């Protein structure tokens, strides 16, 4: 290693030759070649901080395991351990510069991590960056490892960490909808099926349904996460464990579990685990499910708030910004709209993951970089989308109670609640009359002598219309349709 003080560069050499590396860079020649070869995404792996943390955790666990089995001396293992911890703590992430999309099945990412952690360790030892004769990125930091077990394991650890924050945000969003369900508990509205008026319900029930479906997704995401916790550390190149000590696999698993806090397990068949990426496809699919259901909720919010004069106008979304450069006063549902677009992107990313998983060949899948990028992007965007939906929309939603009440009063759907007492045929005839005349259903029922006013009021109470109070018994039908000349049959 030589240092040119004039240009502030250092020279590093690999099997292909030598390159100048910026003297202050913690990455080295392998990373430099990747920067030349893959100027594609212009998005460094550091945009996914938990992927970087996952890489550092794998390197730290390996250093501890290698020290334990005698494959690495105490001084070197300690330096790598300390350097890895600094990365885990959030330092030096700007040095993880290779693009998220790269050829080589993640080798460039693994070497970026090896070089950065090694050069941090060299500084901790009071030595210059690039002094690889003292501590080597490959012989020491990558000891007992291959990209083919490090990279997928780091992705799984990173996704496991990322999922924890996604689940926190998902639960906060669920609770926000639940709070609105309590707030809107007694507000009657017209339910709809196929965009046509149906039976009454409460606005609280509608929002409670939103909360429940998000709670179900919380459970599904946690279930699919366990598929990610099967790792292949110790497999090295293709799963045969070549170059590793027999005790390395168990040791590195134990240390990585302790470091990450994740319930990791070593795959029973390392050859299969190294070549198979099905766990990523299953996890991506669960993210897609969550995104689609979240998008459906946002569709409902946009529809329920449509208008405000010529649409449903049942709820008000918080006004976040001017909605038009030409129409004064227009406000658009921009927060649900951005969540919809995130959902579309997640669906596309899931298709990318599916095709990448299918494209694997023989003992390795070369397309794990695009798998990692797609899933990390999905989970990152979804977490941010949930946050803005909760803070900038759901928490500020209000109900148009007067409009909702007026629509329930004019709705013929309430006649459904009377069918146990007056029969379906009579109810259908009354609904038709109400639609033709615009008259109140309860008045028509009483005038036809089918129920008394008191009975009708009782059965059309908000609690019974919404199902909050169950009907345990029917009262006798007062008259049949044929006996009621005022009812059109």
Residues with catalytic function: 324
Which residues fall within 8 angstroms of residue 199, CB to CB, at 6 or more apart?
191, 413, 414, 416, 417, 465
d(CA 444, CA 432): 11
Find all residues with CB under 8 Å of 453, minimum gap 6, and list them.
Answer: 442, 446
| Per-residue tokens: 394 | 């759901």
- Asked if residue 291 has a cis previous peptide bond (ω within 30° of 0), the answer is no
Contacts of 337 (CB under 8 A, 6+ apart): 298, 302
Q: Which of 151, 332, 323 is nearest to 237 (CA)?
A: 151
Question: Please, how many CA atoms are within 13 Å of residue 335, restricted to the half-sphere of its CB?
Answer: 23
Q: Which of 302, 292, 298 is nearest to 344 (CA)?
A: 292
**Cβ proximity of 35 and 19 under 8 Å:** no
Beta-carbon count within 10 A of 162 CB: 21
Cα separation, 487 vs 484, in Å, equals: 6
DSSP annotation of 137: I
Beta bridge partners of 11: 2, 20
Q: What stretch of H or E contains 78?
A: helix 74-88
Tokens (6 digits) for 88: 């885990």
How far apart are alpha carbons 121 and 79 in whole angstroms?
5
């Amino acid at each position: 290693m030589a240092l040119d003080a004039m240009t502030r560069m250092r020279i590093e050499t690999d099997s292909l030759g030598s390159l100048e590396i910026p003297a202050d860079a913690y990455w080295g020649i392998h990373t430099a070649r990747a920067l030349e070869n893959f100027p594609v995404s212009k998005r460094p792996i550091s945009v996914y901080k938990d992927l970087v943390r996952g890489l550092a955790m794998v390197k730290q666990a390996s250093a501890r395991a290698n020290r334990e089995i005698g494959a690495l001396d105490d001084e070197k293992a300690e330096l790598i351990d300390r350097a890895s911890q600094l990365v885990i703590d959030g330092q030096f992430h700007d040095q993880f510069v290779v693009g998220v999309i790269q050829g080589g099945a993640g080798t460039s990412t693994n070497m970026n991590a090896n070089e950065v952690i090694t050069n941090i360790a060299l500084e901790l030892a009071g030595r210059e960056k690039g002094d690889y004769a003292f501590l080597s990125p490959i012989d020491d930091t990558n000891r007992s490892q291959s990209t083919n077990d490090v990279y997928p394991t780091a992705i799984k650890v990173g996704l496991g960490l990322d999922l924890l924050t996604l689940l926190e945000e998902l639960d906060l969003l669920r609770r926000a909808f639940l709070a609105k369900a309590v707030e809107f508990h007694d507000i009657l509205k017209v339910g709809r099926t196929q965009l046509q008026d149906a039976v009454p319900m409460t606005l609280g029930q509608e929002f409670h349904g939103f909360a429940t479906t998000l709670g179900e997704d919380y459970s599904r995401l946690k279930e699919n996460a366990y598929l990610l916790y099967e790792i292949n550390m110790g497999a090295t190149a293709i799963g045969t464990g070549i170059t590793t000590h027999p005790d390395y696999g168990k040791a590195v698993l134990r240390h990585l579990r302790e470091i990450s806090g994740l319930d990791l397990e070593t795959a029973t068949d390392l050859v299969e685990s190294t070549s198979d990426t099905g766990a990523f496809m299953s996890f991506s699919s669960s993210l897609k499910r969550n995104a689609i259901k979240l998008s459906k909720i946002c569709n409902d919010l946009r529809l329920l708030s449509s208008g405000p004069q010529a649409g449903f106008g049942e709820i008000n979304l918080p006004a976040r910004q001017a909605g038009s450069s030409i129409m004064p006063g227009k406000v658009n549902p921009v927060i649900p709209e951005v969540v919809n677009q995130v959902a579309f992107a997640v669906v596309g990313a899931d298709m990318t993951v599916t095709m990448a998983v299918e494209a694997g060949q023989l003992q390795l899948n070369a397309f794990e970089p695009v798998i990692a990028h797609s899933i990390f992007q999905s989970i990152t965007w979804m977490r941010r989308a949930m946050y803005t939906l909760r803070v900038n929309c759901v928490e500020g939603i209000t109900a148009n109670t007067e409009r909702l009440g007026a629509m329930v009063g004019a709705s013929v759907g309430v006649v459904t609640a009377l069918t146990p007492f007056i029969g379906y045929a009579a109810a259908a005839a009354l609904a038709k009359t109400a639609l033709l005349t615009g008259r109140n259903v309860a008045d028509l029922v009483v005038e036809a002598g089918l129920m008394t006013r008191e009975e009708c009021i009782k059965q059309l109470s908000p609690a019974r219309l919404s199902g909050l109070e169950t009907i345990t018994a029917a009262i006798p039908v007062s008259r049949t349709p044929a006996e009621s000349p005022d009812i059109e049959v």
